[in-house]
Amino acid sequence: MTTLADRPVTASTGSFKLSMLLNDSRYRSLTFQFIALIAIIAFMAFVGGNLVRNLTAAGLNISYAFLGEPSGYDINQRLIDYDSQSSHGRAAVVGLLNTLLVAFLACITATIFGVVAGVLRLSNNWIVSKIMAVYVEIFRNVPVLIWILIIFSIMINVAPSPRDFRGDDATASMMFFDTIAVTNRGVYLPKPIWGDGSMIVVAVLLASIVGIFAYRRYSRKQLFDHGKMVPVLWPSIALFFVPVILVQLILGNPITLSYPELKGFNFRGGITILGSLIALWFALAIYTGAFIAENVRAGILAISKGQTEAAGALGLRPNQIMSLVVLPQALRVIIPPLISQYLNITKNSSLAIAVGYMDVTGTLGGITLLQTGRAIETILLLMLFYLTVSLLISFFMNIFNNRMKLQER
């Protein structure tokens, strides 16, 4: 710890006087920063002390022991094993994964919605551009909670309930050759059953994904070095599907599908995507997509018209102009506000309880809080969690942003 007396005295003035802390511009800012720091620390100490004092007075204390105790409640959507005998800590992790799941899905979908709507809003087609303008204005000007509730109540009231699928006079039926059931409780999809040799199929799939990236790199090199346009989209799709399907057929169908079947009260034997997840995911995506559309439009408009005209003069087609000339430059403008939108999606996902989706606010900040009464502890944990996730998203998006920046040489 350095005291004031230890500070190196600058040669020009000879000796250090106390009054220089205020009068000398070299020290003044340090003095004020130091005073501000002391004031903030004192305030926090007062507030923290006040909290502890009042808690003691009310006979309460701060303790995280409840995290190890059995939770006693069930959660309908769990990505890891969990039952009512698991601990509150595990319930929090289940909720945390659910938050990350819906945030991840919504970020991707919102980006797709946003880019499509943003590009189409600048379309020369009057109807298309106006439809997109209506979409943006409607969705971003109504609170997201309302959208979540609207989409959820439409879903539970319009979609058939499982009992409508039963019997000879069923009013509802499964779609796509009886493989998919859409009900007001969720969507039931076929589930893959991993038989012998299925790992080979998965390995081939991973290899084709690597292959796709290698091919894209090759096509880029061709473009930059030789100015040749190599088709990318269709070869990529073919690379993705053809090897996997071939291997699956050659090995004699190691991966089979288990179809959902109506048993008892519900469909069983498939993958269930709960209605609450769909409603929350779709609402977050379509709401945030409207904001992203505006970011994308702003990014495109920021690119000078000369770029488009020059590209056109070189003989590029409109979709090539957009994907090869305009969008790569527009990304520099689009990405920073896009980070904010991703953060918004993650934080808005805490509205999940409105539709009964058990995210971390619903498990740790909801049921656990109410059953244990540990409000301060759980809220602090929640804040820590959202802060960490948001900072991580910012961190990775900033890396991405730096790579997309204009490379100045």
DSSP 66: G
- How far CA 41 is from CA of 34, 37, 46, 89, 258, in Å, comes to 11, 6, 9, 32, 61
Lay out the site mask for other proteins across 262-301 (x = CB under 8 A, - = otherwise): -xxxx-x------xx-------------------------
- Please report, as residue ranges, which positions from 384 to 403 form the binding site for other proteins (by CB under 8 A): 387
Question: Is the Cβ–Cβ distance between 133 and 121 less than 8 Å?
Answer: yes
User: Is residue 307 involved in binding other proteins (CB under 8 A)?
Assistant: no
User: Is residue 339 involved in binding other proteins (CB under 8 A)?
Assistant: no
Question: Is the Cβ–Cβ distance between 140 and 294 less than 8 Å?
Answer: yes
Burial grade of 89 (CB within 10 A; 0-12, 13-18, 19 or more): middle
Query: Closer to other proteins at the Cβ: 245 or 376?
Result: 376
Q: How far is the CB of 222 from other proteins (least distance, A)?
A: 47
Question: Where does this chain touch other proteins (CB under 8 A) — which range of 13-21, 42-50, 115-123, 279-287?
Answer: 42-50
- How far CA 171 is from CA of 80, 166, 176, 261, 268, in Å, comes to 35, 8, 17, 16, 19
Q: How far is the CB of 377 from other proteins (least distance, A)?
A: 10
Size of the residue set binding other proteins (CB under 8 A): 54
User: Is residue 68 involved in binding other proteins (CB under 8 A)?
Assistant: no
Question: Is the Cβ–Cβ distance between 215 and 239 less than 8 Å?
Answer: yes
Question: Where does this chain touch other proteins (CB under 8 A) — which range of 40-48, 133-141, 229-237, 317-325?
Answer: 40-48
- Please report, as residue ranges, which positions from 117 to 156 form the binding site for other proteins (by CB under 8 A): 153, 156
Cα 294 to Cα 142: distance, rounded to the nearest angstrom: 16
Cα 244 to Cα 306: distance, rounded to the nearest angstrom: 45
300, 311, 358, 360: which one binds other proteins (CB under 8 A): 358
Query: Closer to other proteins at the Cβ: 153 or 253?
Result: 153
Cα 389 to Cα 360: distance, rounded to the nearest angstrom: 12
Q: Under the rule (CB under 8 A), what is the footprint of other proteins?
A: 40, 43-44, 47-48, 50-51, 54-55, 57-60, 72-76, 83-85, 153, 156-157, 161, 163-164, 184-185, 263-266, 268, 275-276, 353-354, 356, 358, 362, 366-367, 369-373, 375-376, 379-380, 383, 387
